[in-house]
Amino acid sequence: MHFGFLTIYWRDMIRFVRFRTLLVSSLVQPALWMAFFGIAMSASFNRLTPDVPPVPGVPTIGYLTFMAAGVIAMTTLFTSLFGGMVLLFDKNWGLLREVMASPLPRDHVIFGIALSGMTKSFIQATIIMVFGILLGAEFFRGYSVGEVTVSVLGILLFVGIFSLGFLFLSAAIAISLESPEGMQGIMTLLTMPIFFASNALYPVNAFPPVLQAVSVGNPLTHLVNGIRYFAIGDHYQAIGVLYITSPAELLFSFSVLVVFALAMFGLAWWRFQRAVVT
Amino acid sequence: MAKEIINVSGLVHRYGDFEAVRGIGFSVEEGEVFSFLGPNGAGKSTAINVLTTLLRIQEGSARVAGFDVATEPARVRESIGIVFQEVTLDRDMTCWEILEFHGCLYRMPRGERRERIDELLAVVELDAKRDTLTKHLSGGMKRRLEIARGLMTRPKVLFLDEPTIGLDPQTRRRMWDYIKAVNEAGTTIFLTTHYMDEADQLSDRISIIDHGQIIATGRGWDLKNRLAEDVIYLETSDNVRSKEIIGAMDEVTEVKEKTNGFVALVNQDGTHLLPRIMDEIRAHGIRIETVNLKKPSMDDVFVHFTGRELREERAERPSAAIARAGRR
């Protein structure tokens, strides 16, 4: 077993810790989403939803709890999509040449960068969970310590697989492009539909059929499903919509994320084999 | 005859329609310093990128440290060190971390790695900067750190692509001393440069490369002798007669008057001819007061072989461009 990817991981984490502005902003940004968007929107939604009669016997959760899971997912998406950007800078500044001229297999570069991106997503997800609970999100309500532990691990498992998929995609794009501006453009183009054609901030039930179909194929929807299952429960109602998630559905969501990650790894591997860095 | 450590034949490399390297072949012996001398755009970096396996070889063959770059690139990589033309140090890593990272990339065992880092930081006199971020280093220190990095894995061949570009003259001389010391310790060095003096000072052998082809290869003095344009300066007790005497010699192509003496341009190696010239003059009872022999510089060599000066390159002179712009 060759642990060369740990070298790449180590270096990227050094950078993460050393770029103070990057570190602080990446930690503060999701908290700001919770604080501003979360509180503002939950005030609006909570005013509207009392008109919908609740289904008896099913726990009702507030909008803040509902969207906190979405914010974890959204933050993971953004962090992961931009996680490969470092390769583009390394390439443009000549730093990648040292790595490409070394005997290190190229898939280890992909793994190393993906692993450090995943670590960052874990840190962010944890911060949002803690901050969300402080703000009043009802995560893990009534759970025992053991259940909380299992749930947190479940959330991190979903976050981890999802982030790997988008980090592989990001690395594939970064190694294929020349300019950071071009990459920025592609990222913006990708994030919009992925983010809004999902169940991160609102239910998809009211979507037109086409958009609903898109949301079913959207990895972000499946990440949010997983997070809500572990953080809130397998049945609850929010914003007047009843959510019931069976273990089979949970497994399906997880499978979609795994397939997506594998496909994106294939894409990145192909791009890296062809990459010429001089 | 020493062992060949690099052997290249019929190497061609194209970027689209443009042929950057047009069929070069040469070999480097173990333990020598070998230079590619040529202007920017001559194909030096392309050749070095193929030899270091950063570019896939297109045509021809190349063996480095006993391995074929086409079929055993991983083995080639393990056997070489590279110092790139531009600075390729992460600004936010310390000197120690740069070397540690490099050692890990090449899978050096931890103990050996740590030992080698200490050793190399001492060699390039950066022990005091061990925990300094590279962005706080001077240009010369960065270059030294890169050389240390190139040596981390005890490579058989160290590739140096324009190692002193952008450094001040004093720092350049120190860099040369380091490079010489590294070579004396047993590492073969392959160097590219567009500085005449650098090639001249450092190399055992030089290949002059232009437009993707090798024009001449040899030892520095050998290349200069091939020019056969040595200049001999003489002051004698009777300059007028001396001029007549040596002007009649077949080897002397031209005699020019100077204030206190005269110069003779000779068409062969002056080191061999000078004693004969001196004997000839003395035989006529003339006393020689001053003598000087000037070998051509590498600049002269380059002009001779390529038919143009190194610095001119292909662009028009700036003054011409400015004049043209002014007319608009």
Q: Is B250 on the interface with A (CB under 8 A)?
A: no
The tens digit of pLDDT for each residue in B247-262 reads: 888 888 778 888 888 8
Shortest CA distance from B78: residue in chain A: A103
Q: Is A276 on the interface with B (CB under 8 A)?
A: yes
The tens digit of pLDDT for each residue in B285-313 reads: 899 999 988 877 777 777 777 776 655 44
For chain B, which residues make up each domain, given as ranges?
A: 4-218, 228-296
For chain A, which residues make up each domain, given as ranges?
A: 40-46+60-274
Question: CA A114, CA A119: separation in Å to the nearest integer?
Answer: 9
Q: Which residue has the tokens 């570009």?
A: B165
Orientation of helix A247-274 relative to helix A219-231, angle to 10°: 140
pTM: 0.82
> Phi and psi dihedrals of B231, rounded to 5?
-115, 125
Q: Is B142 on the interface with A (CB under 8 A)?
A: no
Report CB contact under 8 Å: B101, A11: yes
Question: CA B180, CA B198: separation in Å to the nearest integer?
Answer: 12
The distance of B74 to chain A (nearest Cα, Å) reads 5
User: Which tokens belong to A25?
Assistant: 């902003």
- Chain B hits for A10, CB-CB cut-off 8 Å, are 101, 104
Average pLDDT for B55-80: 93
**pLDDT of chain A along its 278 residues, tens only?**
578 899 999 999 998 888 888 888 888 888 888 888 888 887 777 776 666 677 777 888 888 888 899 999 999 999 999 999 999 999 988 889 999 999 999 999 999 999 999 999 999 999 889 988 988 888 898 889 999 999 999 999 999 999 999 999 999 999 999 888 999 999 989 998 898 889 888 888 888 888 888 888 999 999 999 999 999 988 888 887 888 889 999 999 999 999 999 999 999 999 999 888 87
User: Which tokens belong to B294?
Assistant: 């000037």
- Chain B hits for A103, CB-CB cut-off 8 Å, are 74, 77-78, 105-107
Write down the architecture of domain B228-296 according to CATH.
Answer: 2-Layer Sandwich (3.30)
Q: Is B102 on the interface with A (CB under 8 A)?
A: yes
Q: Is B101 on the interface with A (CB under 8 A)?
A: yes
Residue B66, phi-psi category: left (phi > 0), alpha (psi -120 to 50), beta (remainder): left
Report CB contact under 8 Å: A2, B107: yes
Shortest CA distance from A90: residue in chain B: B90
Sequential DSSP letters for B52-110: TTSS---EEEEEETTEETTT-HHHHHHHEEEE-SS----TTSBHHHHHHHHHHHTT--H
Place domain B4-218 in its CATH homologous superfamily: P-loop containing nucleotide triphosphate hydrolases (3.40.50.300)
Q: Is A20 on the interface with B (CB under 8 A)?
A: no
